[in-house]
Amino acid sequence: MKLELRGITKVFGTFVANDSIDLVVEPGQIHSLLGENGAGKSTLMNVLYGLYRPDGGQILLDEQPVRFGGPGDAMRAGIGMVHQHFMLVPPFTVAENVVLGHEPTSGGLLDLASARRTVREISSRFGFDLDPDAVVEDLPVGAQQRVEIIKALSRRAEILVLDEPTAVLTPHETDELMDIMRQLRDEGTSIVFITHKLREVKAVSDTITVIRRGKVVGTADPATDQTELASLMVGRAVELSLQKEAAEPGETALSVRGLGVTDPSGVTVLDDVDLDVASGEVLGIAGVQGNGQTELTEALLGLQKELRGSVRLDGKELVGRSTREILDAGVGFVPEDRTHDALVADFSVAENLVLDQHHRAPYGTGPVLHPRAVRERAVRDVAEYDVRTGSIDDPVSTLSGGNQQKVVMARALGRDLSLFIASQPTRGVDVGSIEFLHRRIIAERDKGTPVIIVSTELDEVIQLADRIAVMYRGGILGVVPADEDRDVLGLMMAGYTVEAAREAVAAGARTTDSQLVDEGEIA
Amino acid sequence: MTALDQSSPAAAPTPEPTRAGASGGAGERARRWWLLPTVLTALALIAVLVFGLLAPSDVQTAYRIAAPGDLNPGGIIPGDVPVPTKIAAIVLAVLALAVAVYLWVRAARGAMPRGRARVAVIVGFGVLWVLSFLTWAFKGATVDLGALLQTMMLLAVPLAFGALSGVLSERAGVINIAIEGQLLFGAFGAVLVGSVTGSAWAGLVAAPIMALVIGALLALFAIGYQVQQIIVGVVLNVFAIGLTSFFFGTVMKQNPGMFNQPLRLPTIRIPLLADIPIIGRVLFEQTVLVYLMWIIVAVLTVALFRTRWGLRVRAVGEHPRAADTVGIDVSRTRWSNVLLGSAVAGLGGATLTIGTGVAFGEEMSAGKGYIALAAMILGRYHPVGALLAALLFAFADALQLNLSSLPSGTGAGIPSQFLLMLPYIVTLFAVAGVVGRVRVPAADGVPYVKQ
């Protein structure tokens, strides 16, 4: 089926999310929609899927104009969507999730046998190994995504929209997904692939459309050079690789031994972690989301309750201390979720900048806050970090994601630190700000601070880290040098030990994008 | 296919795709595994001591099995069975203790019973313990099991209807604190319409319709205007009390013959079955409301878990956006479930008046809506569970009524104030004991905002 969007416009308040976007997806094609976070890709697809009503423009399927009142209409017209945040009901089984909304019945009751058959049929066609009776919340994310794909296919989708599908996958799973996409394309399904990851776009697309600030800024074919695509996406020349000096690690400053965390239901979520970080080095922690990274950083900050083991910073034990004591010991922390854990949305930029220090000189004495000192700090940080804000008194929630992240970073780095921990330091941040934030992190390292960076983006870990630890199921699988083969890291993220991963790679296990690197296709 | 798939060496560990964190948990003993055996042991020891060893040895407690007129061919079933209070209480308490010891043994082997087996053990313990308690509390008197169960059923029906209302609405994601108001409106509507028309049957039709008013207001504010649902519910309860009290104090007082007659739905007796000792009259000699309750529990159980409608309702209560993306109308589902629920609660209200043959009284629901809410939670948002929980609470209440009406000089002489607390203590402990293990619908109380 051929899909055409003509002049789609969507406005939220005064913000134009989609500004007269034109897009043509030919049948049997993988069409990538490339753009930064907040460029308007997801909005466009939600318009296509009937979740948002467009303020202007037209959707045409096989040259026929259509109007969608809701996702039901879009599905009936043959459009399927795999959402970035899965639209699966966690306590339902795979079969129940797949048939939800178009349930087969027999004699008034649900016909789950036929639902199971549907799941098995589509599973076997694509070589998925899915138990129709498995409960979705017990499945790993990769499998959940397959459930989403089956869900779309079981409704005979001819156009499949994949919204940032690789954000939650290991490199290996990403590769498998790309195979599935190619297989679907070859069977005649049109695919719209939304992403901000250049290497994936180059690996799988037939056509690329680049979107910036709600507008189509160009189309490209997959042979286009990666830096060129990035510049198109960001709107100016960007430096994709980070220039940094080699680390000059000093003495071991942080030493973690046997650190374990048990969650409230009695499950061990962090298991016997040993780590050493020297002053003046960056330890990168790689791993697929949800493998204990959150618990590790929170344990270091004293935010986890059921704690075992020991954490020594410059010889002082941190386990058993309160979070305030740990902060006072000079630990700077950037939590992974800035809106929930880092910022108070209704507080001003200035107030958010001193949240962790408000009780100490020069910002406060006893019960009194010193507004002038707070303002001075804010003015200084806003200038230094180039935070784009109308005023330091504006609520922090009015800032864009990238600028909010700069506030969080400025707060954590605004004093002398004995340890800096940043979790997902650039999640949802535009490419321009990423460059800046990365340079700040390296600058902190060069001041001699031990740094821990946790990121689920392997590229980011490789760029920043001097050594890389890979986390898998609550434990550290191994620590490798930063120049370790990318494929080895990818396999480790899937649970291979260092040795097994190296053997596998030596025996020729490569992922698509590293093959492309070999062929000189991408950087 | 990727090269990786073809060449992964067999030596490489192939990780099981399990969610992170699930690793260390399996095989470990649950924390606080000792809690349940300890509590049961303590309770059993108290029973042995207080109900048994401290009881006088020269009294008897009679258990009435077959009442006069029951189906009892040739007097096979004994009428009253007298047992020596002290010995019977001790035997029963020791049996309860044996259950607790069994749990210790299982715990020591690392094989604590889970799920249904666990519930079965707890229920078994509970029955033995309660029998031991009854033997002691009714010393020198007669435990009329049939009558006790009959009272329990009478008290359980409004709770069960109320809890089913909660199940319907909360499974779709709307918190229903307004059960109390729905019961009250149902009770009021049944009497009012029944009196005006002179027919209890008209009252039976009017009760759910009247309760729909509360349901519609709840849906309007909770779903339409996305007001905090607990607050709306509480406000609606206060509103229901105010409005019914106003009409009770004015028109109903002035002309009770016209507006507030004690009507009663006829009792439908199923011949023969109703004569079975102990359970006969409880199950087969009731008003249509009780039979309706059984039917609604059965139908709702099948509907919620075996039909298209149920799957959609539960999807809306768990993940409304997911439901929306497959074309399910979230608002309409929630509206219809809240309305349906309130109608069911209206039937519960009717039980309070035309089901028992009393006129309407001010605030006559007397907190039953809140107990129904507790029954819904204890019943894990399941119709059958809700019914069982309602029966449990009602049993405690029935026991309280029976004990406080014992002739003086018999019984254990428990102060009546303590007896009055009994149902609430049972509620509190039962709910506290399961909270944390109950899985609340994930979107319960969260308004759904469509962009």
pLDDT at site A467: 95
Q: Which residue in chain B has the smallest CA separation from A471?
A: B20
Q: Which residue in chain B has the smallest CA separation from A148?
A: B322
Q: How far apart are CA B441 and CA B146, in angstroms?
A: 38
Q: Which residue in chain B has the smallest CA separation from A74?
A: B327
Average pLDDT in the B63-83 region?
80
Secondary element (H or E) of residue A377: helix A371-385
A152 to chain B, closest Cα gap in Å: 10
Going from the C-alpha of A333 to that of each of A90, A161, A418, the distances in angstroms are: 32, 37, 11
| pLDDT above 60 for A519 | no
pLDDT at site B16: 37
A222-236, A327-341, B169-183 — which is least confidently predicted?
A: A222-236
Q: Within chain A, which residue ranges are assigned CATH 3.40.50.300?
A: 3-234, 239-330+416-484
CB-CB neighbors (< 8 A) of A81 in chain B: 325
Closest listed residue to residue A182, CA positions, set A126, A225, A132 = A126
State whether the Cα torsion B233-B239-B244-B249 is positive or negative: positive
Strand locations in B221-282, DSSP E? 267-269
Q: What is the pLDDT of residues B329-371, one digit of tens each?
A: 999 999 999 999 999 999 999 999 999 999 999 999 989 999 9
ipTM surpassing 0.95: no
pLDDT above 70 as % of chain A: 97
CB-CB neighbors (< 8 A) of B314 in chain A: 89, 92
Which range, A470-474, B134-138, B230-234, is most confident? Answer: B230-234
Q: How far apart are CA A193 and CA A196, in angstroms?
A: 10
Q: How far apart are CA A506 and CA A504, in angstroms?
A: 5
Q: Which residues on adjacent β-strands are paired with residue A254?
A: A277, A313
Q: Cβ of B308 and A105 within 8 Å?
A: yes
| CB-CB contact of B180 with B370 (8 Å) | yes
Of all residues in chain B, what percent are helix, strand and coil, respectively (each to 5)? 65, 5, 30
Q: What is the pLDDT of residues B119-130, one digit of tens each?
A: 888 889 989 999
Instruction: Indicate the pLDDT class of residue A290, thresholds 50, 70 and 90.
Output: confident
Give domain limits for chain B: 35-140, 154-391
Collapsed DSSP state (helix, strand, coil) of residue A91:
coil
Q: Cβ of B327 and A72 within 8 Å?
A: yes
Directed axis angle between helix B145-171 and helix B368-378, to 10°? 80
Q: How many residues does chain B have?
A: 451
pLDDT at site B3: 40
pLDDT at site B404: 84
| pLDDT above 70 for B403 | yes
Assigned token pair, A276: 């050493």
Q: Cβ of B13 and A52 within 8 Å?
A: no
pLDDT at site A419: 95
| pLDDT above 70 for B272 | yes
Going from the C-alpha of A147 to that of each of A110, A139, A302, B21, B350, the distances in angstroms are: 19, 10, 37, 22, 47
Q: What is the pLDDT of residues A98-109, one digit of tens each?
A: 999 989 999 889
Q: How far apart are CA B373 and CA B360, in angstroms?
A: 23
Q: How far apart are CA B282 and CA B264, in angstroms?
A: 18
Q: What is the pLDDT of residues A376-391, one digit of tens each?
A: 999 999 999 888 888 8
Secondary element (H or E) of residue B133: helix B115-137
Predicted TM-score (pTM) of this structure: 0.80
Instruction: Indicate the pLDDT class of residue B241, thresholds 50, 70 and 90.
Output: very high
Tell me the CB-side half-sphere exposure of residue B399, using CA atoms within 13 A.
24
Instruction: Indicate the pLDDT class of residue B292, thresholds 50, 70 and 90.
Output: very high
Q: What is the pLDDT of residues B41-54, one digit of tens each?
A: 999 999 999 888 88
B6 or B184: which carries more pLDDT confidence?
B184
Question: Before A362, cis peptide (omega within 30)?
Answer: yes
| DSSP structural state of residue B28 | S
The overall average pLDDT reported for chain A is 88
Average pLDDT in the A130-140 region?
90
Put simply, whether A107 touches B (Cβ < 8 Å) is no
Assigned token pair, B64: 């009435």
| CB-CB contact of A501 with A488 (8 Å) | yes
- Chain A (176-215) residues lying within 8 Å, Cβ to Cβ, of chain B: 176, 179
- A239-330+416-484 CATH choice from 3.40.250.10, 3.40.50.970, 2.60.260.20, 3.40.50.300: 3.40.50.300
Instruction: Indicate the pLDDT class of residue B105, thresholds 50, 70 and 90.
Output: very high
CB-CB neighbors (< 8 A) of B20 in chain A: 269, 288, 290-292, 472-474
Q: Cβ of B7 and A509 within 8 Å?
A: yes
| CB-CB contact of B342 with B172 (8 Å) | no
Describe the strand order of the beta sheet including A159-163 as a list of residue ranges: A79-82, A159-163, A190-195, A30-34, A207-212, A215-220
φ, ψ of residue B216 in degrees (nearest 5): -65, -40
Strand locations in B23-85, DSSP E? 60-64, 80-84
Q: Cβ of B21 and A494 within 8 Å?
A: no
Q: Cβ of A292 and B8 within 8 Å?
A: no
Q: What is the pLDDT of residues A465-499, one digit of tens each?
A: 999 999 998 999 999 998 888 889 988 988 889 99
| pLDDT above 70 for B24 | no
Closest listed residue to residue B336, CA positions, set B197, B181, B443, B218 = B218
Please name the residue ranges forming H helices in A414-507. 431-446, 458-464, 486-493, 498-506
| pLDDT above 70 for B26 | no
B167: left (phi over 0), alpha (psi -120 to 50) or beta: alpha
Best to test chain A binding among B7, B325, B329, B440 (most A CBs inside 10 Å): B325
Q: How far apart are CA A206 and CA A219, in angstroms?
A: 11
pLDDT at site B431: 76
Tell me the CB-side half-sphere exposure of residue B418, using CA atoms within 13 A.
6
Q: Which residue in chain A has the smallest CA separation from B328?
A: A101
Collapsed DSSP state (helix, strand, coil) of residue B83:
strand
Q: What is the pLDDT of residues A195-207, one digit of tens each?
A: 878 888 888 999 9
B34 to chain A, closest Cα gap in Å: 14
The overall average pLDDT reported for chain B is 87
- A3-234 CATH choice from 3.40.50.1980, 3.40.50.300, 3.40.50.720, 3.40.140.10: 3.40.50.300
| CB-CB contact of A190 with A28 (8 Å) | yes
Q: How far apart are CA B218 and CA B229, in angstroms?
A: 8
Going from the C-alpha of A280 to that of each of A33, A311, A450, A465, B69, the distances in angstroms are: 40, 18, 5, 11, 93
Going from the C-alpha of A506 to that of each of A333, A482, A513, B4, B9, the distances in angstroms are: 38, 18, 17, 11, 10
Q: How far apart are CA A311 and CA A255, in angstroms?
A: 6
Q: How far apart are CA B345 and CA B188, in angstroms?
A: 12
Pick B20's closest partner by Cβ from A52, A176, A292: A292
Q: Cβ of A88 and B322 within 8 Å?
A: yes
Q: Which residue in chain B has the smallest CA separation from A496?
A: B13
CB-CB neighbors (< 8 A) of A83 in chain B: 325
| pLDDT above 80 for A505 | yes
Q: What is the pLDDT of residues A71-94, one digit of tens each?
A: 888 988 999 999 888 899 999 999
Q: How far apart are CA B260 and CA B273, in angstroms?
A: 35
CB-CB neighbors (< 8 A) of B328 in chain A: 72, 100-101
Average pLDDT in the A56-64 region?
92
**Counting beta carbons within 10 angstroms of the beta carbon of residue B170, is it exposed (0 to 12), middle (13 to 18) or buried (19 or more)?**
buried
A517 or A189: which carries more pLDDT confidence?
A189
CB-CB neighbors (< 8 A) of A108 in chain B: 307
| pLDDT above 80 for A517 | no
Put simply, whether A87 touches B (Cβ < 8 Å) is yes
A237 to chain B, closest Cα gap in Å: 34
